[in-house]
Structures are given as structure tokens and as C-alpha cells.
Amino acid sequence: ELYLGYDLSEKSVKSLGGKFKVVNLFTQLRNLGTIWTGNGLGFDPENPLGSLKPIKVYTIGAKVNL
């Protein structure tokens, strides 16, 4: 899982109308890939052969404090 966030500066937040205290823009990435070589067979023990692998999830958003 990878999470990246950025807090807007006070000047940028005030330019949005002055109604917000803090604005955080973020992106979150899950299940981008699995590297497993410890067992010598090259497969992931959490996803046995024939099972569905976890889907990739991309999330973007904004957290706002009023």
C-alpha cells in the first residue's frame, strides 16, 4: 500500500473561500504487485494457484477540516 498526501498552504486554503481550516489532497494505491521469491517456486502463498488475485485499487481524494 502506498499513501501520498499534501497539505495546501494557508494562502491556498484561504483562496478557496475562507471556510476551511485545513485541506489535504491525497492518493492511495493498493495491491500494485506482489514479489515473492522466498519459497523458490515464484508464487505468492496468500494467492494459491487457481485463485483470484487481489484487484488493484487507486483512490484519490481530499480531506477538509471546517
**pLDDT digit string, tens, across residues 25-57:** 999 998 877 655 555 665 666 777 766 777 889
- In contact, 22 and 7? CB cutoff 8 Å: yes
- In contact, 26 and 58? CB cutoff 8 Å: no
Band of the pLDDT at 60, cuts 50, 70, 90? very high
Q: Where are the alpha helices (DSSP H) in the chain?
A: 10-14
Band of the pLDDT at 6, cuts 50, 70, 90? very high
pTM: 0.69
Q: How far apart are CA 46 and CA 49, in angstroms?
A: 10
Percent helix, strand, coil in the chain, to 5, is: 10, 35, 55
